Amino acid sequence: MFGPAWSTRTVDDDPGAPFFNDTTKYVVSATLDEAKGWQNSEVIGGYDAERIRELKNSHDLYVSGSGTLVRALLRDKLIDELHLLVYPVVLGSGARLFDGLAELPLTLVETESFDNGVVHLSYGSTD
């Protein structure tokens, strides 16, 4: 999903390009055998909480763009920090990020607002 958009970007295109391109990317997928076309990408198979826990214990992990994966990680208490970007748009429908999850107390750690009305909320787990 991100590969086609980011794999050819440089720092001149976007200051975030080096982070996305140089960082090791673990692809959670039950259908892909390999991650083609984006350097430093490794398919680790379908969702496996223990495998992800092993990766998490060895270094920091960053997840972007998959509500399904985020819900599974939250359910299995594998997320230490949750960063949400709230956009000033009401859609009225769509997928709910926290649908089906048990109550999960969070502590607000930081907020940041941008000129375009977007608000970045950073939460820490209370566990």
pLDDT of residue 1: 63
Q: One digit per residue, pLDDT tens: the chain, 127 residues?
A: 677 788 888 899 888 888 888 989 899 999 988 888 888 889 999 999 999 999 999 989 988 878 899 999 999 999 999 999 999 999 888 888 888 899 989 999 999 999 999 999 999 987 6
Find residue 126's DSSP bridge partners. Answer: none
pLDDT of residue 111: 98
Domains and their CATH numbers in the chain: 1-46 (no CATH), 63-127 (3.40.430.10)
pLDDT of residue 78: 93
Q: Within a 10 A sphere around the Cβ of 103, how many other Cβ atoms? A: 5
DSSP for 50-62, written as a single string: HHHHHHHHHS---
Distance of CA 99 to the CA centre of its chain: 17
pLDDT of residue 119: 98
